[in-house]
Amino acid sequence: MELKRPVTIFDTTLRDGEQSPGCSMRAGEKLRLARQLERLGVDVIEAGFPISSEGDYNAVRQVAAEVRGCRIAALARCNPTDVLRAARALEPAARPRIHTFLATSDIHLQFKLKITRQQALEQAAKAVALARSWCDDVEFSPEDATRSDVEYLCRVIEAVVEAGATTINIPDTVGYAVPREFSRLIETIRARVKVIEKAAISVHCHNDLGLAVANSLAAVEAGAAQVECTINGIGERAGNAALEELIMAMHVRPDAMPYATRVNTAELWPTSRMLSEIISFSPQPNKAIVGSNAFAHEAGIHQHGVLSNPLCYEIMTPESVGAPGNRIVLGKHSGRHALANRCAQLGWPVSGERLNEVYAQFIELADRKKNIYEQDLLAILGAAKIPTAEAPIARAQSASGD
Ligand SMILES: [Zn+2]
């Protein structure tokens, strides 16, 4: 068997994810999710941005003290106050990492930071050296890397690696890159920055064009050794690369992506549900891997196929991601096969002419109603007992809450 190249999974749900509107978390909630991320098997948990608030400082400290199975990272801008604050918050960590960042694109330097390229380069190197004096694991991110001048970007990377950075994270801060161009950027950095072997290359992609996962995988193919991602793809604006999508892409297509991670795929669904509960919103129903419809089938031809052999229309099993099982949704696109299956499950097996009658009535009703409830079907079947369940039949199928 071909040897798989290891890829480090850096989860930033508690930092970048938390920055998205409506996603802020209290310290106790961060700790609960951090423990689940540890069970999931991520390598690095970015727990927060300690300088941003007293609450976040405490949250990072708490996660650092109690979650021992992962590396714990804290974010800091490139100045002594931020770096010191991050170092303090990480004091209890078994394996701490300080993550510093400074923009390198002209638009950020000119309008946001109001400093020259040379000043930014020196500031970055100084902050990294300071961080290294506190911690032997230091990550540096040239913010807005994909819109930075490549020559200059390479000079900054060289300076920070020489100052002691152990991971160089290339962020597509504004979600502007496309896969081929992004992988070329990684190749360029590997070719031009002589000292780059001393550090690992990481990527951090945003999803403004829906390309975060594709860009991340393109970068891994070009040699990136770490990907930054979030559960359910939450994060600034359109979000970050979704962890569950990256993992399952590698899991389902090892022929195309022979990379190894420590993630236990069966914990993906439970982690997604825990996050949804904490932030009070779920991913959209058609979200890959963890959406409520990710394993649902309504079309008759599909239902027949799935009931005979799930592989007809499923490239992975719901069980492989810890989901409660595929849902055969009864609606106007359903066929006799799925209907007969459901009737039998309800204790009313039908076949032959009787099935045709029930089917005709069912389709007539499904044309008028969006959701067919269990009691609707029982009424058609002429069952005496009408159950009180309020949930549509579509949901009555799943074993646990989804
Ligand atoms: Zn980000």
- Look up residue 71 and give its two tokens: 């590396």
pLDDT band at 385; cut points 50, 70, 90 = very low
According to DSSP, residue 144 is labeled T
Bridge partners of 229? 11
Would you call 376 helix, strand, or coil by DSSP?
Answer: helix
The rounded Å distance from CA 117 to ligand 1 centre is 22
The rounded Å distance from CA 17 to ligand 1 centre is 8
Q: Which residues contact 264 (CB under 8 A, 6 or more apart)?
A: 39, 40, 41
pLDDT value at 276 more than 60:
yes
Amino acid at 190: R
Q: How high is the pLDDT of residue 388?
A: 43
Q: Which residues surround ligand 1, an ion (CB under 5 A)?
A: 16
The rounded Å distance from CA 45 to ligand 1 centre is 14
Q: How high is the pLDDT of residue 21?
A: 84
pTM across the whole model = 0.86
Q: How high is the pLDDT of residue 398?
A: 39
pLDDT value at 390 more than 70:
no
The rounded Å distance from CA 19 to ligand 1 centre is 9
Mean pLDDT, the chain, rounded, equals 91
> How far is CA 102 from each of CA 96, 113, 368, rounded to the nearest angstrom?
20, 9, 58
The rounded Å distance from CA 264 to ligand 1 centre is 24
Domains recognised in the chain with CATH numbers: 5-279 (3.20.20.70), 296-396 (no CATH)
The rounded Å distance from CA 233 to ligand 1 centre is 11
Q: How high is the pLDDT of residue 335?
A: 87
The rounded Å distance from CA 206 to ligand 1 centre is 6
The rounded Å distance from CA 55 to ligand 1 centre is 20
